Amino acid sequence: MARNLSLMSWSEDQPVHGLLAGGCAVPFIEEHGLWTAEQEAAADEVERRVKELELRQVRIAWGDQHGILRGKNLEVGHFLSVLRRSKDFQTATLIFDTTNNPVVPPFEAGALGDPRMTGLPDGVLVPDPRTFKVLPWLDRTGWVLSDLYYQSGERVPFDTRGILQEQVGNWPLTGTSSSPASSSSSTWHASTTRSSPGRTPAIRRSRRRSARLPTGSGT
């Protein structure tokens, strides 16, 4: 008799990335040292909240280069298992534009400027438990941001959070006194000049001034 796969719940016997049948492999996140001690502690808190709030599902989200959130909805039992191990994800989303039409030949060698992307291999989503939220507009549903890696443990160069983290980390090298996060009087833009798909875009400063709210506006 045919089964409705959409209604099937995940079980502990199903394999996840970084864990072979029988549980003999080292989890992907641990193997490649992708979490900090802060994230380990945050994962403990996420597990506690998921159980305490009796959540039904959690969305693992990844922001693509257009700012569109991609990802997967996971039943809670599945999420708690992959939280510390990662989740398989298809890199094919990188070739789509904002209307979900492919703009890059999927099987052309080096079409995205990175030979590792040839053939659009499976990637790996690594949740960041520090970003965990409970969605107020959905019944018992959690949400967490993630980072995109190759199965080798290398970060995919198009991973948007990784690009931002790299730029913020390089900020002291520019010799400026302010940071992208703290500057309220300038607009910052990612420059596409002197950049390639395999490189992180440089950041340049615009001289345009942002509008300031009047004192006492209450906002």
pLDDT above 70: residue 11: no
pLDDT above 80: residue 76: yes
The DSSP 8-state label assigned to residue 201 in this structure reads: P
User: Which tokens is 124 given?
Assistant: 């790996």
Q: Are 141 and 110 in contact (CB under 8 A)?
A: no
Tokens 């996060």 belong to residue? 181
Residue type, 115: P
Confidence of residue 73 (pLDDT cuts 50, 70, 90): very high
The whole-number pLDDT of residue 177 equals 62
86-108: pLDDT as tens digits: 999 988 888 888 888 888 887 78
Handedness of CA 14, 16, 20, 25 (dihedral sign): negative
Tokens 């995919």 belong to residue? 156
CATH fold for the domain made of 11-158: Ubiquitin-like (UB roll) (3.10.20)
User: Which tokens is 20 given?
Assistant: 């072979």
The whole-number pLDDT of residue 131 equals 97
* Residue 219 to residue 207: CA distance in whole angstroms: 25
Where in the chain are all domains bearing CATH 3.10.20.70?
11-158
The DSSP 8-state label assigned to residue 176 in this structure reads: -
134-157: pLDDT as tens digits: 999 999 999 999 999 999 999 999
* Residue 85 to residue 28: CA distance in whole angstroms: 5
Lowest mean pLDDT among 53-57, 148-152, 210-214: 210-214
**H-run or E-run covering 126:** strand 122-127
User: Which tokens is 151 given?
Assistant: 């199965």
Q: Are 148 and 123 in contact (CB under 8 A)?
A: yes
